[in-house]
Amino acid sequence: MAAGDSEYDISLYDYELPPESIAQRPAEPRDASRLMVLHRADGRIEHALFRDLGRFLRAGDLLVLNDTRVFPARTIGTRSTGGKVEVFFLRDLGRGLWEAMIRAHGRPKSGEYLQLEDGRLVVKLAEKTPAGQWTVLVPRPADLLKTLQEIGRTPLPPYVRRSEDRSLEADDRERYQTVYARQTGAVAAPTAGLHFTEVLLQALREQGVGTAQITLHVGLGTFQPIKVADVRRHRMHAEFFSIDAKAAARIAEVKRAGGRVVAVGTTSCRALETAAASPQGFGPCQGESRLYVYPPYTFKMTDALLTNFHLPRSTLLLLVAAFAGRERILGTYQEARQSGYRFYSYGDAMLII
């Protein structure tokens, strides 16, 4: 790192978190999660419950929801050697090939067959990718998502501990999914949206707060830590996103009318900002986003951000730091720890306005 570039040092985005602060189960009901509200103008912090969200929004505001749906991408099985293996399906590459993350005892080899979930699915390892994942050949690829719905496991992050007996699988399948999830394709949930209930969304609409649905299929790379010392050298994984004409028109209308566009989650924020970076300006679009937001960054579409509390040294933490300031965010995280907030995917929420 060059002299004078210390503000880009990844160590500036580190913090200590006791294990007991990491949420292992979601709040019941969904909107019983706690909500920390950070006012960017003066740094003021308020504490509430998520069901109180309407207190901090006003008629004319617009919640932008990511309607991606998580599929049960994780499978457990055995190698031909008899060793245990985990296959985490990431995305369809076409022609029967899928990108997958492999964890195994020993070193997997190209051409090896893997028996997954008691042999209910057999895949063949093709080759390792430059990024360290694998391409795997899937028989009857058109049926894979259907098969995974039957045998796959909810792709919870590793810090959410579950036993292999699958006793909580049914609960996780329902709770690691937003109530408005529609478009299948994510391997991780847009966790800021997990706190909403249909009743709360309806109450907000009656208050005059609108909603628009867009899609960004959350990939594993979103949640992986930054492993380089200089944050500028990190490279984001590509993630598919789509903003249709109806949603784009609604968002643009709110901006013109002076309402606030409230991105529900960093994924919605990245989709909005990716679309705004188009040479044609903000409008309906779809494609792959590799947008990487870190300080300093000028947000073009996002007026407020609803999010969870994120891992240290993650792209998610850098994005919220870009939105509200690094020192201010780390200060709120310290207060959240001291106040008993629950962190990460199943944890509590933060509204930055």
Residues in the chain, how many? 353
User: What are 247-265's pLDDT values in tens digits?
Assistant: 999 999 999 999 999 999 9
Distance of alpha carbon 202 from alpha carbon 58, whole angstroms? 14
DSSP 19-46: GGGB-SS--SSGGGSEEEEE-TTT--EE
Say yes or no: 182 and 330 in one domain.
yes
Phi then psi for residue 138, to 5 deg, are -115, 125
Inform me whether the pLDDT recorded for 43 exceeds 90: yes
Residue 160, domain member (yes or no): no
DSSP state of 245: H
Residue 274 pLDDT class (50, 70, 90 cuts): very high
CB 314 within 8 A of CB 225: yes
Say yes or no: 63 and 91 in one domain.
no
User: What are 184-197's pLDDT values in tens digits?
Assistant: 999 999 999 999 99
* Of 71, 73, 74, 69, the residue nearest 164 (C-alpha): 74
User: What are 4-35's pLDDT values in tens digits?
Assistant: 468 999 999 999 999 999 999 999 999 999 99
Q: Find the domain containing 137 and state its range.
A: 74-152
Reduced to 3 states (helix: H, G, I; strand: E, B; else coil), residue 47 is strand
Residue 114, domain member (yes or no): yes
Say yes or no: 205 and 296 in one domain.
yes
Amino acid identity, residue 132? G
Say yes or no: 323 and 218 in one domain.
yes
Residue 163, domain member (yes or no): no
Say yes or no: 55 and 89 in one domain.
no
Say yes or no: 62 and 79 in one domain.
no
